[in-house]
Structure 1
Amino acid sequence: MTHGLAALVIRHTHRVPFPRGSAGEGAAAARQFDAALMSVGFKLSAQLLERLSGMSEPAVVHTAKRVLRTVSEMAGDHVRHNAYFIDFPANVPDTEEFWTRCLVAALGDEGARENVRSQLADGALDLLSLPAYGRYQHTYEEMLAAQDELVASAGDRVTVLHLGRDLDDELTDLYLALAGSPTPLAEEHLSDLETLAERCAHGPQPESIPVRENRAVVNAARLTAGTDLLLDTVVDVLRLACALSGGDVTLREPTRFRALPRAVRRALLAGLDAVVAANPAKLADVPAYREQFKRLGERLHPHEYPRWPHAAEVFAVARGDKEARSFDSRAGQLLAASDVMGAVRLLSSAPGKLFRALDVLLRVADGQDERDAVVDAAVRAAPEVSGRVVLAVREHFLNRERESGRPRIFVDRRGRGWVTPDTRPPVPAADRDRLIAALDTEIRRRLPAPGRLLLDPDILDVALPLSGRAAPAGLGVLPRGTVAAVDGERLRFFVYWKQTERRTDYDLSALLLNPDYSTDSWLSYTSLGAVGGRHSGDVTEAPDGASEFIDLTLDQVRATFIAPQVNIFAGEGFEEVAESFFGFMLREGEQKGRPFEPRTVRMKSELRGAGRVALPLVFRREDDGRWQAKWLHLYLRGISSANRVEENQASVSTVVRAVVEREYLTVRHLVGLMSDGVTAVDLWDGGPVPDEPVTYIGLERPEHLHPDSRVITVENLRDLIPG
Structure 2
Amino acid sequence: MVMSTTDDLAGLLLRRRQSVDVAEGTGRTVAADRLPAEIPLRESKALALAPLLDDAGTRPLVARYADTATDVLRLLAVRSGGDPDLLEPPRLRGLTRPVRRELLVLLDRLDFARLAEDMARHPRAWKRVGEILHPFEGAHRHARVALAFAVLRGTRLDDTRLGGILLAEAGRHACVRLVGDRLRVVTWQSRVEDALGRWDTTAAARLLGERPGELLRRLDLLLARSGSATLPEPVAEALARALPHTASGPLLGAYGQLMIRTAPGRRRVFFPRGRVTKAYAVDDHRPPLPSRVAGRAGELIAAEAVRRLTERDGERYDVAVLDASLADLPVPFAERASAASLVAVPRGSSLPMPADGETVRLFLHWLQPRSTRVDLDLSVALYDDLWRFIGLCDYTHLEYAGGAARHSGDLTSAPAPHGATEYLDLDLPRLAATGVRFVVPAVLSYNDVAFDELPDAFAGFMAVRGDKRARYDPRTIRQRFDLAGDARLRVPMVVDLRTRRAWWADVTLATSEGNHDVWRYRRQLGHIGHDLLDAFQPGGRATLWDLACWTAAARTDGDVFVRGRGHVLWGYRRADDEPRADFALRVRDAWEPDALRAEPELTGRRALLALLHGELPEAATAASGTVYRLYPGPVDAAPLERVTAGDLAAWLEPASSRTAAG
For the superposition of Structure 1 and Structure 2, which TM-score range results when normalised by the shorter chain?
A: 0.7 to 0.9
| Pairing 1:468–2:335 present | yes
Residue in 2 aligned with 1:516? 386
| Pairing 1:220–2:50 present | yes
Residue in 2 aligned with 1:151? none
| Pairing 1:410–2:410 present | no
| Pairing 1:712–2:643 present | yes
- Distance between the aligned counterparts of 1:290 and 1:585, measured in 2? 48
CA drift of 1:295 comes to 0.6
- Distance between the aligned counterparts of 2:215 and 2:506, measured in 1? 29
- Distance between the aligned counterparts of 1:534 and 1:714, measured in 2? 36
CA drift of 1:716 comes to 4.8
Counterpart amino acid of residue 508 in structure 1 = L
Residue in 2 aligned with 1:533? 405
Residue in 2 aligned with 1:386? 247
- Distance between the aligned counterparts of 1:620 and 1:719, measured in 2? 32
CA drift of 1:386 comes to 0.7
1:240 to 75, 82, 97: 75
CA drift of 1:194 comes to 9.3
Q: Is the Cα–Cα contact under 8 Å of residues 253 and 541 in structure 2 kept in the other structure?
A: no
CA drift of 1:639 comes to 1.9
Of 688-697 and 392-401, the range deviating more from structure 2:
688-697
| Pairing 1:666–2:543 present | yes
| Pairing 1:696–2:631 present | no
Show CA shifts across 1:558-601 (max 9, x none).
Answer: 2332221122332322344444332222222236444x543333
Alignment of 1:158-173 (within 5 A): none
CA drift of 1:703 comes to 4.4
Cα pair distance change 1:237/1:505, threshold 3 Å = same
CA drift of 1:412 comes to 0.9
Residue in 1 aligned with 2:283? 421
SS at match of 1:424: coil
CA drift of 1:549 comes to 2.3
- Distance between the aligned counterparts of 2:412 and 2:437, measured in 1? 30
- Distance between the aligned counterparts of 2:548 and 2:339, measured in 1? 24
1:642 to 507, 515, 519: 515
Cα pair distance change 1:691/1:450, threshold 3 Å = closer
Per chain length, whose mean CA-contact separation is higher, i.e. which structure has more relative contact order (CA < 8 Å, sep 6+)? 1
Q: Is the Cα–Cα contact under 8 Å of residues 476 and 604 in structure 1 kept in the other structure?
A: yes
Counterpart amino acid of residue 450 in structure 2 = G
- Distance between the aligned counterparts of 1:351 and 1:427, measured in 2? 21
Residue in 1 aligned with 2:361? 492
- Distance between the aligned counterparts of 1:280 and 1:195, measured in 2? 33
CA drift of 1:326 comes to 3.0
Alignment of 1:35-50 (within 5 A): none
| Pairing 1:686–2:619 present | no
- Distance between the aligned counterparts of 1:452 and 1:205, measured in 2? 37
- Distance between the aligned counterparts of 1:313 and 1:273, measured in 2? 10
Q: Is the Cα–Cα contact under 8 Å of residues 317 and 557 in structure 2 kept in the other structure?
A: no
Structure with greater helix percent: 1
CA drift of 1:252 comes to 2.4
CA drift of 1:632 comes to 0.7
Counterpart amino acid of residue 110 in structure 2 = V
Show CA shifts across 1:477-504 (max 9, x none).
Answer: 3111112223351212223344456544
1:445 to 307, 315, 322: 307
Residue in 1 aligned with 2:187? 326
Residue in 2 aligned with 1:286? 119
CA drift of 1:376 comes to 3.6
| Pairing 1:436–2:306 present | no
| Pairing 1:629–2:490 present | no
Query: What's the TM-score once normalised by structure 1's chain length?
Result: 0.66
Q: Structure 2: where are the runs of 5+ without partners?
A: 23-29, 156-182, 311-315, 564-613, 655-662
Counterpart amino acid of residue 474 in structure 2 = P
Q: Is the Cα–Cα contact under 8 Å of residues 383 and 389 in structure 2 kept in the other structure?
A: yes
| Pairing 1:274–2:116 present | no
Alignment of 1:119-158 (within 5 A): none
Q: Is the Cα–Cα contact under 8 Å of residues 331 and 346 in structure 1 kept in the other structure?
A: yes
- Distance between the aligned counterparts of 2:365 and 2:642, measured in 1? 33
SS at match of 1:408: strand
Q: Is the Cα–Cα contact under 8 Å of residues 465 and 471 in structure 1 kept in the other structure?
A: no
- Distance between the aligned counterparts of 2:627 and 2:38, measured in 1? 25
CA drift of 1:672 comes to 1.9
Q: Size of the alignment, in residue pairs?
A: 532
Q: Is the Cα–Cα contact under 8 Å of residues 273 and 311 in structure 1 kept in the other structure?
A: yes
- Distance between the aligned counterparts of 2:558 and 2:34, measured in 1? 33
- Distance between the aligned counterparts of 1:582 and 1:715, measured in 2? 24
- Distance between the aligned counterparts of 1:519 and 1:363, measured in 2? 38
CA drift of 1:665 comes to 2.2
Q: Structure 1: where are the runs of 5+ without partners?
A: 1-182
Alignment of 1:97-108 (within 5 A): none
- Distance between the aligned counterparts of 1:253 and 1:658, measured in 2? 28
Cα pair distance change 1:496/1:461, threshold 3 Å = same
Q: Is the Cα–Cα contact under 8 Å of residues 470 and 480 in structure 1 kept in the other structure?
A: no
CA drift of 1:280 comes to 5.4
Q: Is the Cα–Cα contact under 8 Å of residues 223 and 289 in structure 2 kept in the other structure?
A: yes
Cα pair distance change 1:671/1:242, threshold 3 Å = same
Of 563-572 and 287-296, the range deviating more from structure 2:
563-572
Of 412-421 and 310-319, the range deviating more from structure 2:
310-319
Counterpart amino acid of residue 327 in structure 1 = W
Seq. identity, %: 30
Counterpart amino acid of residue 213 in structure 1 = E
- Distance between the aligned counterparts of 1:434 and 1:455, measured in 2? 26
2:210 to 337, 349, 357: 349
CA drift of 1:292 comes to 1.0
Cα pair distance change 1:681/1:205, threshold 3 Å = farther
